[in-house]
């Protein structure tokens, strides 16, 4: 059996990425509060069927690489109550990310 | 009670919460209709639906507590659990489904504290903990957990020191998270079973720590 087609993983751990901004009228799983924010890839879980297709009866192909992306809490919220080092980790599919420049 | 508001059910306006137990609400009837259609069309069988329900009902926080206690008791097992949860859980007789979602296990230490939320809906490690508590699905928890995790922990009775790094995990996709809480102090002499009794559901979500052992009753 051949593995289902997957988009290639475009990012490696340690790379800076930015989250695309968008609110499709269809199903999507990228929370709006991190859209437009810059984070760092801390893990690549492998590839999974794309929920934006699965949510509407599609086959989810090509699969999308899924990353755990780390954000600094202080960069997400102006009034964050906690130390600088607190983090927020969100799982994001490849098609929502693009390379960030510092 | 006034005369125009007698006990007959059809007296012109609804009484929310007072419907008979045998009456299904709108969403229950809708779900039932979709279920019958899917069975009729041969997309699912009623056995498959029952199997799915059974697999969720079979698990409860007791299962997670057993796993955590085993990890506390055995450092090598803990390392395997963090590294490859699927095969480590198999050692204890828990067979995770081959389908998604998958499970990731994270450890709370004196330096790092993880707390889990699903801001989009109610994603939860059901394959090990069963159904999520109602508060986990509430809009209040889902919206506040990412903005003010330390405030939420305080409400659950945990005052984390500033030195501890808080890491909130938002389970938005195909991964679910189980937290191995910090092992409480003064538990060196406890059995694995006694340890398991200290592992609460909330501590495996990370909103608080595991319980501290009750001091033994002092004899006269």
Q: pLDDT tens digit string along A80-90?
A: 999 999 999 99
Q: How far is B116 from chain A (nearest CA, A)?
A: 10
Residue A90 lies in domain:
16-99
- Residue B197 falls in the annotated catalytic set: no
Q: Confirm whether A23 is domain-assigned.
A: yes
CA A35 – CA A14 distance, rounded (Å): 19
CATH number reported for the structural domain that contains residue B191 in this entry: 3.90.330.10
The overall average pLDDT reported for chain B is 90
Q: Do A33 and B146 touch (CB under 8 A)?
A: yes
Give the residue with greater pLDDT, B5 vs A101: A101
Q: Confirm whether B3 is domain-assigned.
A: no
Nearest by Cα to B115 from B146, B140, B84: B146
The residue behind tokens 């202080």 is A74
**One domain for residues B68 and B51:** no
CATH number reported for the structural domain that contains residue A54 in this entry: 2.30.30.50
Domain count of the fold of chain B: 2
**One domain for residues B83 and B189:** yes
For every residue of B182-212, DSSP letters joined together read PPPSS-TT--HHHHHTT--HHHHHTSSPPPP
Give the residue ranges of DSSP H helices in A41-102. Answer: 51-54, 73-76
Predicted local confidence at residue B2, as pLDDT: 43
pLDDT tens readout for residues B67-91: 999 999 999 999 999 999 999 999 9
The overall average pLDDT reported for chain A is 94
pLDDT tens readout for residues A6-44: 989 999 999 999 999 999 999 999 999 999 999 999 999
Q: Confirm whether A3 is domain-assigned.
A: no
Residue B39 lies in domain:
26-56
Count, residues in chain B: 220
**One domain for residues B166 and B192:** yes
pLDDT confidence of B3, banded at 50, 70, 90?
very low
Q: Confirm whether B142 is domain-assigned.
A: yes
Predicted local confidence at residue B205, as pLDDT: 98
Q: Confirm whether B15 is domain-assigned.
A: no
For the stretch A49-79, what's the b/e string if a residue is b when 16 or more beta carbons lie within 10 angstroms of its beta carbon? bbbbbeeeeeebebbbbbbbbebbbeebeee
Predicted local confidence at residue B98, as pLDDT: 83
Nearest by Cα to B128 from B156, B169, B88, B158: B88
pLDDT tens readout for residues A67-78: 999 999 999 999
**One domain for residues B201 and B119:** yes
Q: What is the DSSP code (8-state) at residue B138?
A: S
**One domain for residues B68 and B161:** yes
Predicted local confidence at residue B11, as pLDDT: 61
CA A86 – CA B118 distance, rounded (Å): 18
H/E element, B33:
helix B26-40
- Residue B121 falls in the annotated catalytic set: yes
B139 — contact with chain A (CB < 8 Å)? no
Tell me what the mean pLDDT of segment B203-217 comes to: 89
């Amino acid at each position: 059996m051949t593995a289902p087609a997957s988009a290639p993983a475009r990012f490696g751990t340690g790379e800076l990425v930015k989250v695309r901004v968008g609110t499709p009228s269809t199903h999507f799983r990228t929370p709006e509060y991190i859209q437009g924010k810059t984070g760092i890839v801390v893990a690549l879980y492998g590839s999974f069927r794309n929920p934006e297709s699965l949510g509407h009866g599609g086959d989810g192909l090509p699969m999308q690489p899924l990353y755990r992306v780390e954000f600094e809490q202080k960069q997400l919220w102006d009034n964050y109550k906690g130390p600088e080092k607190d983090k927020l980790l969100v799982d994001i599919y490849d098609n929502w990310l693009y390379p960030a420049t510092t | 009670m006034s005369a125009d508001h007698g006990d007959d059910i059809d007296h012109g306006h609804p009484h929310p919460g007072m419907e008979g137990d045998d009456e299904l609400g709108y969403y229950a009837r809708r779900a039932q209709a979709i279920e019958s259609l899917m069975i009729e069309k041969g997309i699912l069988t009623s056995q498959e639906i029952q199997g799915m329900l059974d697999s969720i009902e079979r698990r409860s926080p007791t299962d997670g507590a057993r796993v955590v206690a085993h990890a506390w008791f055995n450092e090598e097992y803990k390392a395997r659990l963090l590294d490859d949860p699927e095969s480590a859980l198999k050692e204890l007789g828990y067979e995770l489904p081959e389908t998604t979602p998958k499970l990731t296990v994270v450890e709370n230490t004196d330096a790092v504290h993880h707390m889990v939320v699903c801001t989009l809906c109610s994603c939860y490690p059901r394959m090990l903990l069963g159904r999520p508590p109602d508060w986990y699905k509430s809009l209040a928890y889902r919206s506040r957990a990412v903005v003010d995790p330390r405030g939420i922990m305080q409400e659950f009775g945990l005052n984390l020191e500033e030195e501890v790094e808080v890491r909130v995990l938002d389970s938005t996709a195909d991964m679910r998270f189980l937290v191995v809480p910090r092992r409480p102090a003064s538990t060196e002499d406890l059995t694995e079973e006694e340890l398991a009794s200290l592992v609460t559901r909330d501590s495996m979500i990370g909103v608080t720590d595991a319980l501290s052992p009750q001091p033994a009753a002092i004899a006269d």
